[in-house]
Homo-oligomer: A and B are copies of this chain.
Amino acid sequence: MRDYHVTVLSNKQVSNRYWHLIVDSSDLKEAIEPGQFFNIKSTDYQTYYPLLRRPFSIYRIKEDTLEFLYKAEGAGTKQLATYKPGQKISLLGPAGVSYSIPKNCKKILLLARGVGIATLAALAQKADQMNIEIYAILSARNKDDLLATKTIEKYCTKVYCVTEEDKTSDVEHVRRMIHDLIKTHHIDAAYTCGSRRLSMLLQKITKANGITSQVALEEYMACGMGVCYSCVCDIKRQGVMQTVKSCEDGPVFPLEEVIFE
């Protein structure tokens, strides 16, 4: 982890609310793994607005580039959306724990909601390289928000999309989809990001079916370096309740450990 000053190569709006950022990562010598994130600076020493960095999952990792997919919503992400190709931006990372893929894993399930697709796309990229079959359920408000699925489709065996627009994204429907998938294919591991409700759903199903599963949490982070204790969440590890830092001990956690109150 370091504070890298990298050059923006491209920063484009890819749908109504989503943006796609590509930076030059040729100076990054560290290994970067799916599930990890970077804390991107969105302020300057004049305005201090917004003051804190914003964490973003790695979306795609290539030889000399890093990609992020983000939803331009509040002050920080709107600021991010103003960055132009050629501009230097400050990226602190790679931070956090990455996804782990069990040995001899053949088939995995991804369950993404909204921009949670970003981090699961990175995982899909890696799993694909390992010749793993990938089944993905992508949930979003509307089809427009699913535009970014093209990337993930390349890596996946099968992608299912559900939306509010189509009235297909309710938990009950998703539950049935997952059950069907599990019945048809022997899923070795499942991964989720982007929704508390879907995470709770997956937690129950994977527990009942003895499937290894992981979740990438999105807690509010002030430092992203494990020093401030603002990003904590409660987990139960080997029977013991613990308050852990999601920036350092996470953001990826075994799904069964996470306590969703």
Contact = CB atoms under 8 A, between A and B. Distances in A.
A47 interface: yes
Interface in A46-60: 46-49
Interface string A97-139: 0000000000000000000000000000000000000000000
A75 B49 contact: no
Contacts of A49: 46-49
Nearest to A43: B47
Interface of A: 46-49, 75
A46 B43 CA distance: 12
8 contacts: A46-B47, A46-B49, A46-B75, A47-B47, A47-B48, A47-B49, A48-B49, A49-B49
A196 to B, nearest CB: 30
For A46, A48, A75, the residue with the greatest tally of chain B CB atoms inside 10 Å of its CB is A46
Contacts of A75: 46
A97 B46 CA distance: 34
Contacts of A46: 47, 49, 75
Nearest to A78: B46
A181 B49 CA distance: 54
